[in-house]
Amino acid sequence: QTRIINIDKKDIDIEQLMYGAEILKNGGTVIFPTETVYGLGANALDEKAVKKIFEAKGRPSDNPLIIHIAKAEDINDLITDLPQKSKELIDKFWPGPLTLIFKKSSIVPKIVTGGLDTVAIRIPAHPIARLLIELAEVPVAAPSANLSGKPSPTKGQHVIDDLKGRVDAIICGGDTTVGVESTVLDITSDIPMILRPGGVTKEELEKVVGRVDVDPALQKSEGIEIVPKSPGMKYTHYSPNADVILISGKLNDVINNIKKIRANKENEGYKVGIMATDETKDKYEGGTIISVGSRSKLESVAANLFKTLREFDKKNVDIILSETFEEKGLGQAIMNRLIKAAGYNVLRV
C-alpha cells in the first residue's frame, strides 16, 4: 500500500510531511519532489532501507546513489575530508542542482556507493525536500524516482505511474522546476571533473573553481567505447517506449529532414512523433508534434524534456524524431539526456 500525500510547496502542511519523515526514520521508502526531478528516498545509513530503493526501481546494485542532506554541516559525518574547492562550490551552489563526490567515511554503507570508496552528496533546493530531510533527521539516499531505464519523473503523476504500490509513500508537490538531474562533479582529483552534466552548467562551475573537465566517456561517439567514471552513465536511460532518433545539423536542414523521414515512416505504417521547439513547431505539417520549449530559453527545454518524452508514450507513437541543441550551457545536460534516450541514434544532416 502506497500512501499518497499531496503537499503545496508554498504552504507546507508540516503534519502531512511529518508522516513521510516518520516513514524514513523507520526504514521505509518515500518519494518526494526536488528542484531537479522527483527522488525515491530512504535512510542512507540503514542498509536494509537502501536495499528497498534498488528493489522498487529495479536498479542495478553497482549504480551508486546520491545522499541528500538538509544543511551543509550534515556532511561532516559522511566524508573524510572537505577539499578547499568543494567549500567554494558548496557556498555558491548549495542548496541546488550540484552533486559533489567525496571520499566516504565508514558510516556510509557500501550499498549506497555501489561498493565505491567515494560518496555523492547534495542539498536539494526544494522546500519540501529540505524540510522532509530535516524532520527525518537522517541523510536520505535518493535516486530519481522512475523505474530503471525510464525518463526521470518531473510530475507527481509520473511517479504514481511508475512506482505506486512499490514504495511506502509518495509526496506529490507539483512539477519540478529544473527538469534535468543535478550535475555530478568529482572533486577528489586536482581538476574537478563533470561525470554527469546537469542543472549547474560547466560555465557556471568554471567561474567559481577555474578549469573543469568533462569525463571523456560522455563524448562517446559511435564505435568508441570508454567506460564512464560514474557507474550510472553506462546504463540505458530515459527511454520512452518509442524509438527516438535525433536529427542534428543546421536548423533548416534538420526541419527538412524530419519532414522527409516522417513522411517515409508514415508510409511504412509507423505513428511518428516530432519533438519540436516553440520556434519550429509551425513548420511541420503532420505527425504528433509537441514543442519541448523555446530555443532561446533552454531552461524551458530542460524543464519540459522528460515530460515530453512521456507524453509521446501516452500518444502511442512508434518513433520520435527530435530536434537537437547546441552543447553549451544547459544544452550539455539536455543533449546528454536526449542522446541516451535515443540510444546514441543520431542522424547528422
Residue ranges of the annotated binding site for L-threonine are 36, 68, 122, 182
To the nearest whole angstrom, how small is the minimum distance from the Cβ of residue 259 to ligand TXA?
35
The closest of 53, 56, 60 to 142, measured between CA atoms, is 53
The closest of 305, 279, 280 to 292, measured between CA atoms, is 305
Residue 153 near ligand TXA by CB under 6 A: no
To the nearest whole angstrom, how small is the minimum distance from the Cβ of residue 265 to ligand TXA?
32
Out of ligand TXA, Mg ion, none, what residue 277 binds, judged by CB under 5 to 8 A for its kind, is none
Whole-number Å distance between alpha carbons of 31 and 311: 21
Restricted to residues 46-105, the positions that interact with Mg ion (CB under 5 A) are none
Q: Determine the residue with CB nearest Mg ion.
A: 144
Residue 144 near Mg ion by CB under 5 A: yes
β-strands 319-322, 243-248 pairing? parallel
To the nearest whole angstrom, how small is the minimum distance from the Cβ of residue 102 to ligand TXA?
8
Sequence-distant (6+) residues with CB within 8 A of 63 are 114, 143, 231, 232, 235
Residue 176 near Mg ion by CB under 5 A: no
Out of Mg ion, ligand TXA, none, what residue 182 binds, judged by CB under 5 to 8 A for its kind, is ligand TXA
- Interface residue with ligand TXA, options 168, 181, 215, 323 (CB under 6 A): 181
To the nearest whole angstrom, how small is the minimum distance from the Cβ of residue 144 to ligand TXA?
4
HEC secondary structure over 118-160: EEEEECCCCHHHHHHHHHHCCCEECCECCCCCCCCCCCHHHHH
- Interface residue with ligand TXA, options 78, 142, 258, 335 (CB under 6 A): 142
Whole-number Å distance between alpha carbons of 129 and 115: 26
Q: What are phi and psi of 134, to 5 degrees?
A: -65, -45
Residue 32, helix vs strand vs coil:
strand
Out of ligand TXA, Mg ion, none, what residue 37 binds, judged by CB under 5 to 8 A for its kind, is ligand TXA
Type of residue at 128: I
**Residue that has been written with the C-alpha cell 542498509 in this structure:** 47
Size of residue set near ligand TXA by CB under 6 A? 29
Residue 154 near Mg ion by CB under 5 A: no
For the beta sheet containing 243-248, the strands, ordered from the edge strand earlier in sequence to the opposite edge, are 288-291, 272-276, 319-322, 243-248, 346-348
- Interface residue with ligand TXA, options 36, 201, 304, 308 (CB under 6 A): 36
For ligand TXA, the closer CB: 136 or 245:
136
Residues at the interface with ligand TXA (CB under 6 A): 34, 36-37, 39, 63-66, 97, 99, 101, 113, 116, 118-120, 124, 142-144, 181-182, 184, 195-196, 230-233
Residues at the interface with Mg ion (CB under 5 A): 144
